[in-house]
Amino acid sequence: MAEPLVRIFDTTLRDGEQSPGVSLNLHEKLEIARQLARLGVDIIEAGFPIASPGEMAAVQAIAAEVRGPVICALARTRRGDIDAAAQALRTAERARIHTFTSGSRVHLEHMLRLTEDQALEMAVDAVRYARKFTDDVEFSAQDVARADPAFLVRLYAAAVDAGASTINVPDTVGYSTPGEFAGIVGFLRERAEDLNPDVIVSVHTHDDLGLAVANALAGVEAGALQIECAVNGIGERAGNCALEEVVMALLTRRDHYGRAVAVRTEELYRTSRLVSKLSGMVVQPNKAVVGANAFAHEAGIHQDGVLKERSTYEIMRPEDVGVPETRLVLGKHSGRHALRERLTALGYGLGEAEFARAFERFKELADKKRGISDADLAAIVQAEVVAAAPEVYRLEYFQVTAGNTTVPTATVRVALLRSLSGADAGGGPGPVRGDACAAVQESATGDGPVDAVYRAIDRAVGREFRLDDYALRAVTGDKDAIGEVTIRLSDASGRTATALGASTDVIEASARAYMAAVNKLCGMPEARPGTEAAALAAGERQV
Ligand code: KIV
Ligand code: ZN
């Protein structure tokens, strides 16, 4: 008999986007949703449409374009929320409305200011109302781990009775332990199945105690057939159950769990990189499955073992999760054909213009670095081709003087490629605004060389930006490794952009990332209060 399928419900774009400091724009959300469809998740929770016009627009765009997974929208147990969710999902191939309340007294009394009976009544009304728009209705009660089990049974039974086809059991604050959580899930599942044997029980776990994946797996052992998770485990506070970890645990230990998963695991690494780049949330090197060290063997005894027989120290193969093999085959004598083949093997199907850009950067890199690995190539192409915004400004060159006895000073030359209008032109007396193809040179000093370059760029474009986050990682372990810089930048009107830069020179990588973020901000619509852009800029969302 075939093993029961555990559905993967991805909430990267909803709960994941609630990570502090993360704000994805519509274009970025669509790109992630397309990749999630390629990955083969069963359900994409695309957003919370009532939260802002930007959320509404993003869910609408995903529902209209992305085919394959069910597209889900979140709604509180209020008719207005459900109307917004239904409207956002109108063009979805398959639509799910996910309505939620809270189960614990602390949430009901202090946050929702509802009695248990009022919460239950609203839940029943919300599920019934959502069923008018779709048969696929999911119901959740936040904070089950701290709730009274007797109330939970009443609440979930009422939701199933009202027509919920999936009941989701969230450990909202990451408080539970695997044994305890399995108990709650098993208990609720038995009572729900008495009412509707086809109901799907889902688990939604948070990582406050580092137990999100363990708790989700315990839920599966107690009969859950859906796991809610986010790529790289991003999300509120310590995050959500990490999709790549829970999927690989289920598959690697299929002998133990006896469950199937429909995800195409070879897409996991690429999905992780994309989410990391667009969210600006850097993946720690020792992160399970997708971290830079996940398949690296340092100790001599381990290396020896792996060389003799991989399974001595590897329980998964890097190729199973799509980690690019490090093969030092490309160098400065490699031509277009070799590069095209390598990029195709890495899964990058680039158009002519994109390929030309990739080739140009490859040649620049090959002049500086002897052997170019797949990881190097992926870093450059992802940063400067796939995730690049259309150029408004181009950094023509930069020069830096730095050292422990000098004040760091940078000179940059920046060209304006497209003329700007209105607020995007900045407002200050910038020297290049409005002059298509004009270029300007500026210098600045700073606390360090990167700071000096950033100040000089601000001067050159005639605007000041705020650097909200900066992270640097080495793509490989060598001394001549490529440095990959991820930054988050915001402007005076509160719009934020995340961008990447990659180079063997970390100052150049930093400058490239900054320029890319500036280009993204300059390409965004003006954030007037009440507009979609303002909502996106403010990253309005709630739960
Ligand atoms: O953590 C939580 O409880 C949630 C719900 C909306 C499912 O995210
Ligand atoms: Zn959550």
Q: Rounded to an integer, what distance in angstroms lies between the CA atom of residue 129 and that of residue 255?
A: 42
Whether 253 maps to a domain, the answer reads yes
Which residue has the CA at smallest separation from atom 8 of ligand 1?
15
The pTM is what? 0.75
Residue 503's domain spans which residues? 389-538
What residue type is assigned to position 317 of the chain? Answer: R
Q: How many domains does the chain have?
A: 3
Residue 19 C-alpha to ligand 2 middle, in angstroms?
A: 11
Same-domain pairing of 510 and 523 = yes
Same-domain pairing of 11 and 131 = yes
Residue 446 C-alpha to ligand 2 middle, in angstroms?
A: 41
Whether 285 maps to a domain, the answer reads no
Which residue has the CA at smallest separation from atom 5 of ligand 1?
142
Helix residue ranges, H only, 222-265:
243-252, 254-257
Q: Rounded to an integer, what distance in angstroms lies between the CA atom of residue 457 and that of residue 442?
A: 7
Whether 286 maps to a domain, the answer reads no
Residue 342 C-alpha to ligand 2 middle, in angstroms?
A: 39
Same-domain pairing of 458 and 435 = yes
Same-domain pairing of 61 and 173 = yes
Is residue 204 within 6 Å of ligand 1 at its C-beta? yes
Whether 290 maps to a domain, the answer reads no
Boundary (domain end) residue, out of 357, 384, 411? 384
DSSP SS3 for 101: strand
Dihedral pair phi/psi, residue 254, rounded to 5°: -60, -35
Q: For 266-408, where are the E strands, in sequence order?
A: 393-401
Same-domain pairing of 343 and 258 = no
Is residue 176 within 6 Å of ligand 1 at its C-beta? no
Dihedral angle computed from the Cα positions of residues 521, 524, 529 and 535, in that order, rounded to the nearest 10 degrees: -90
Same-domain pairing of 433 and 332 = no
Same-domain pairing of 270 and 309 = no
Is residue 172 within 6 Å of ligand 1 at its C-beta? yes
Same-domain pairing of 209 and 91 = yes
What are the residues whose beta carbons fall under 8 Å from the beta carbon of 40, sequence distance 6 or more? 68, 262, 263, 264, 267
Same-domain pairing of 172 and 210 = yes
Q: Rounded to an integer, what distance in angstroms lies between the CA atom of residue 97 and that of residue 82?
A: 7
Same-domain pairing of 479 and 410 = yes
Is residue 100 within 6 Å of ligand 1 at its C-beta? yes
Boundary (domain end) residue, out of 279, 308, 343? 279
- Which DSSP string do the residues of 282-299 spell out, in sequence order? PPPTT-TTTSTTTT---S
Whether 218 maps to a domain, the answer reads yes
Whether 48 maps to a domain, the answer reads yes
Same-domain pairing of 270 and 310 = no
Show pLDDT as tens, one digit a residue, over the chain (543 residues). Answer: 789 999 999 999 999 998 877 889 899 999 999 999 999 999 999 999 999 999 999 999 999 999 999 999 999 999 999 999 999 999 999 999 999 999 999 999 999 999 999 999 999 999 999 999 999 999 999 999 999 999 999 999 999 999 999 999 999 999 999 999 999 999 999 999 999 999 999 999 999 999 999 999 999 999 999 999 999 999 989 999 999 999 999 999 999 999 999 999 999 999 998 998 888 888 887 899 998 778 865 566 666 676 777 788 788 998 999 987 655 457 778 888 888 888 877 767 788 888 998 898 888 888 888 778 877 888 888 777 766 777 889 999 999 999 989 999 999 999 988 655 544 444 433 333 444 568 899 999 999 999 999 999 999 999 999 999 898 988 776 777 888 898 999 998 888 888 889 898 999 999 999 999 999 888 776 544 444 334 434 444 334
Boundary (domain end) residue, out of 246, 279, 312? 279
Same-domain pairing of 469 and 526 = yes
Whether 347 maps to a domain, the answer reads yes
Ligand 1 atom, smallest distance to 228 CA: 7
Residue 128 C-alpha to ligand 2 middle, in angstroms?
A: 23
